[in-house]
Amino acid sequence: MNLSLIISSIIVILVILALFFYAFKNDKSKISVQDIALVALFVVIIAILNKFIALKFPPSQPMFVISFASAVSISLGLLINPKLCLLAGLVTDILGMLIASASGDNSMPYVGFTLTAMLSIFIPCILYRWTKQFNKTLINMIIISVLLAIIVFSGIYLFNVDVISIDQNKTQLNDGIRYMILISLIIIAIIICIINFIMQKKLVLSSQYKISIPQLSLIVLSVEVICHIILTSLWVNLMYGVPMYIGMITRMIKAIIMLPLNIIVISLIIRYIPKQFKQHLMNDVANENEIINSNE
């Protein structure tokens, strides 16, 4: 292990400890039996999705792998409290390493990916609370800005390389493929923005649970940018020397394509999961109503 990897590992461990300290200091909610059962179920699903269940697209000449593990992680983050999110992420990463080892994968484990697994569940939990009071116009402006930046950087990258590699699948680029990818990104981004503006007052879960489509879009986009585009590219750079900009751009393309799919999957999971597993969301609504009534 080289020096930069050792130093980065120490920094990551300190960040993980700081996250646990923050969560356990500020989150006083109790962990129920339902919470533990939910985490156990979702952790197994995430590990299986990460390792065994994925769709290659397009089938004839696959460019990237479609996996809904991220959507399941975000859904779990919306359903449990912050300290349990960190524990769930830690267990998910450990279980993933055990499955990989049992299947003959001898790649070196790295604590950076443990942090990514934890943040992919922790960030939705925190952002759900932080963004509830955000103006929806502000949320949409943030989403548009991020999508525009992704499209611009992706376009510049696509027209300056001959081969693109996403999820270890290399594809030789020609002008037809370049324009197809770029136009697809633009169309998807426009559709997402239109839906966010039209459905500002619609709730994803039901009238009882306060999370809007723009809020959910921002949460999913934040997880993609922080956990996958930035951190995963950084860890791969530190471990294998792959330039960060290559990893970031290719993951940007995948993120914008997967964004609407993840939003749909998360909406379905949260809407149809049994009511008892949405207890902390119900408590948040009850607390808000109590504050409103006391102010009146």
Q: Could you read off the pLDDT of 63-92 as tens digits, one per residue?
A: 566 778 899 999 999 888 889 999 999 999
pLDDT of residue 166: 60
Whether 263 has a pLDDT exceeding 60, the answer reads yes
Q: Name the pLDDT band for 274 (thresholds 50, 70, 90).
A: confident
Smallest CA-to-CA distance from 26 within 171, 125, 96, 148 is with 125
**The whole model's pTM is what?**
0.83
Ranking 110-124, 138-152, 254-268, 280-294 by mean pLDDT, the lowest is 280-294
Rounded CA separation 203/276 (Å): 19
HSE of 212, CA atoms in CB hemisphere, 13 A: 20
Q: What is the CATH T-level fold of the domain 3-275, as seen in this structure?
A: Arp2/3 complex 21 kDa subunit ARPC3 (1.10.1760)
Which residue has better confidence, 190 or 28?
Answer: 190
pLDDT of residue 28: 78
**214 touches 136 (CB < 8 A):** yes
pLDDT of residue 220: 94
Arithmetic mean of pLDDT, 219-233: 92
Smallest CA-to-CA distance from 51 within 92, 108, 112 is with 92
